[in-house]
Each structure stands twice: as structure tokens, then as C-alpha cells.
């Protein structure tokens, strides 16, 4: 029988994009989501072709039930945002660490072939070494980063101790269609676009010179699909990025060019727990899986801008 994919957090930004890609290729997909951040609207195009389980990662019995018959897991479910974790470290730990442990144990009990876990570049902390390679010693500086790294360690342990194949993907600042601006913890690109379309000043934390390896969603979907199926990579940790970096000021300038006007800016204090610069080496994931970014930074910004423009109209 064909594989059955379980996507935790499958109604969210990354999970729903991955679900659509799998469904397009004829795969069987089951979603587990508590809809605290994800939405049914994100699944509108495929809702009649997938199973949807509304449940919380902290409910082990519910995770066990959702895991029945599953062969491969894309574990995207999490409480995201560094700043959220600074405000509420207890919930971040409960969802991101204990929730991941529930996924791993349920997968082990049900004979799952592989679990691909959505980790974070925040695990590296604010070290000055660029680009970040997977063999750098992690140095997290926020509860969110600690929680994502702790769950990575659980993935390694389940691979080595129990033989459950796991792959951890350290995402670098994912952006693209379906990413919501409707939270005080929202990511910078959707927040910039919402302000721009409302003719409000964009809000920049700090001086705007901080830079990130911004990664368009299609690249992350590709990395997940390769990591779910490529043989011989159990226990690995991979960066998922484009291998370059861009500042917030650069993004503001590009969006201004798209809109034909200079975007007004307001600078406020730096976000707590933020790092100054991130940039990934993607040599390891390229060598092990054949991953190469399929959408570069500026093309990704244009695609994202066009999608948000269609939504605002």
C-alpha cells in the first residue's frame, strides 16, 4: 500500500504548503492540528482529499490515534516565535519538547518509517561564525531555541536507541504565501506587507541592518520531501536555506520598488532573544539529498508580494 503521510501542524503556513505538494503528487495525507494558528482556509484547495484530525500535540492519546497506519511523518507542529517563548516559556516547552516526544513515541509504537522534524536556525544562537554549519556547537539564547534544540536531541536518541529514522531540518526564516501577519509574533515579511498595503509605516526592530538567510516556502517543501524519502539519512541534521543573507532594510527597499514608492519606516527596540545575523551552509543537505533552492530570494519576494496583493484586494 502507498505511504500515508502525517503532517503535524498541517493547517499552518508550512504544513499546508507541504500538504498541497504531496496531494498534487497523489500521496495520501493526514493532518493533525489544533487550529490555534493554522486555519481551514489554508487547506481549502485540498480538504476533500485529505484526512483532518483536530487534536493537540500535548494530548498523547490523540497523537497515538492520529499515528495509526502512518508510514512517514512531517512534524511541523510547534509554538513558533522567539518573542512568544520569552513571554511564555512554559507553553513553548510543553508543545515543542513534550509534543515532539509524543510524536516520536507514537511513531515508534506504530512502526513509522521516518519522522522529519522542523527544527530552527535559532539553535545556533548569536555566534559570529558565518555561514552556520551543522557541526557548530549550538548556543541558543531564547526559550524557543532551547525547545527546538531539545527536541532535536530527542530525535537523535530515538534514531540511535530505538531505530526510528529521524531527520531534523533547521529552517532559516521561511516566508511565502499563507504566512499570516495577524499576530504580534508574526514574521517580518508578512508584517511589512500588511503595513505597506495599509499605507502605514513598516515597523523595524533595531537599526534594520540585521540580516537573515530568508528561505522561500517552495525550498522548504522540497527539503521536507527529499528528507522524507531519501535513503540512508536517518539521524541527520540539515540546514534548510538558500546560503545567502539579506537585511531588513533591503527587504523594505525591494517592496518599495514593487509598490513604486519609498515605504515609510518606524524603528523600535530590538526584539528580545533575536540574533544579529544568520546565514546557512547548505553543503550537507545538498550532498546527502540533492537539495538545491528552486526559488531565489528576490523571486520569492515577488511571488509573496503578488500573493499578498491578491489577498488584500
Cα–Cα distance measured from residue 119 to residue 172, given in angstroms and rounded to the nearest whole number: 9
The string of pLDDT tens digits covering residues 69-97 is: 999 999 999 999 888 999 999 999 999 99
Query: Is the residue at 207 inside a domain?
Result: no
The string of pLDDT tens digits covering residues 264-286 is: 999 999 887 778 899 999 999 99
Print burial letters for 130-142: b (CB count within 10 Å at least 16), e (below 16). Answer: ebbebeeebebbb
Query: Is the residue at 112 inside a domain?
Result: yes
DSSP structure string for 112-137: -SEEEEEEEGGGGTT---SSB-TTSP
Query: Is the residue at 197 inside a domain?
Result: no
Burial label for 180, CB within 10 Å (0-12, 13-18, 19+), is middle
Which CATH number is 127's domain given?
3.40.50.720
Confidence of residue 145 (pLDDT cuts 50, 70, 90): very high
Cα–Cα distance measured from residue 165 to residue 10, given in angstroms and rounded to the nearest whole number: 21
Cα–Cα distance measured from residue 209 to residue 197, given in angstroms and rounded to the nearest whole number: 23
Query: Is the residue at 263 inside a domain?
Result: no
Structural domains in the chain (count): 1
Cα–Cα distance measured from residue 96 to residue 39, given in angstroms and rounded to the nearest whole number: 19
Query: Is the residue at 183 inside a domain?
Result: no
The string of pLDDT tens digits covering residues 26-74 is: 999 999 999 999 999 999 999 999 999 999 999 999 999 999 999 999 9
Q: Which domain holds residue 140?
A: 4-174+217-243+279-294
Query: Is the residue at 70 inside a domain?
Result: yes
Instruction: Provide the whole-model pTM.
Output: 0.96
Place of cell 499605507: 199
Print burial letters for 151-168: b (CB count within 10 Å at least 16), e (below 16). Answer: bbebbeebbeeeebbbbb
**In this structure, what C-alpha cell is assigned to residue 156?**
537523535
Amino acid at each position: 500500500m502507498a505511504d500515508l503521510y502525517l503532517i503535524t501542524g498541517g493547517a499552518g503556513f508550512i504544513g499546508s504548503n507541504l500538504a498541497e505538494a504531496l496531494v498534487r503528487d497523489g500521496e495520501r495525507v493526514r493532518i493533525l492540528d489544533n487550529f490555534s494558528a493554522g486555519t481551514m482556509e489554508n487547506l481549502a484547495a485540498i480538504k476533500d482529499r485529505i484526512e483532518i484530525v483536530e487534536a493537540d500535540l500535548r494530548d498523547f492519546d490523540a497523537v497515538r490515534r492520529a499515528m495509526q497506519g502512518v508510514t512517514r511523518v512531517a512534524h511541523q507542529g510547534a509554538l513558533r516565535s522567539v518573542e512568544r517563548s520569552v513571554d511564555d516559556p512554559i507553553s513553548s516547552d510543553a508543545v515543542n519538547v513534550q509534543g515532539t516526544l509524543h510524536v516520536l513515541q507514537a511513531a515508534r509504537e506504530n512502526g513509522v518509517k521516518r519522522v522529519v522534524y522542523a527544527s530552527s536556525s535559532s539553535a545556533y544562537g548569536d555566534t559570529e561564525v558565518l555561514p552556520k554549519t551543522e557541526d557548530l556547537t549550538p548556543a541558543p539564547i531564547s526559550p524557543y531555541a532551547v525547545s527546538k534544540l531539545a527536541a532535536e536531541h530527542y530525535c537523535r536518541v530515538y534514531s540511535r536507541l530505538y531505530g526510528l529514522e529521524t531527520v531534523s531540518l533547521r529552517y532559516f526564516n521561511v516566508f511565502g504565501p499563507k504566512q499570516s501577519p495577524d499576530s504580534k509574533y508574526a514574521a517580518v515579511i508578512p508584517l511589512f506587507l500588511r503595513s505597506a498595503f495599509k499605507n502605514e509605516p513598516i515597523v523595524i526592530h533595531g537599526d534594520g541592518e540585521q540580516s537573515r538567510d530568508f528561505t522561500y516556502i517552495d525550498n522548504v517543501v522540497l527539503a521536507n520531501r527529499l528528507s522524507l524519502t531519501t535513503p540512508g539519512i536517518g539521524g541527520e541534521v540539515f540546514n534548510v536555506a538558500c546560503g545567502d543573507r539579506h537585511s531588513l532594510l533591503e527587504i523594505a527597499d525591494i517592496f518599495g520598488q514593487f509598490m513604486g514608492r519609498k515605504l515609510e519606516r518606524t524603528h523600535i527596540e530590538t526584539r528580545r532573544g533575536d540574533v544579529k545575523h544568520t546565514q546557512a551552509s547548505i553543503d550537507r543537505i545538498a550532498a546527502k539529498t540533492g537539495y538545491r533552492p528552486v526559488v531565489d530570494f528576490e523571486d520569492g519576494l515577488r511571488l509573496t508580494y503578488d500573493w499578498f496583493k491578491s489577498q488584500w484586494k
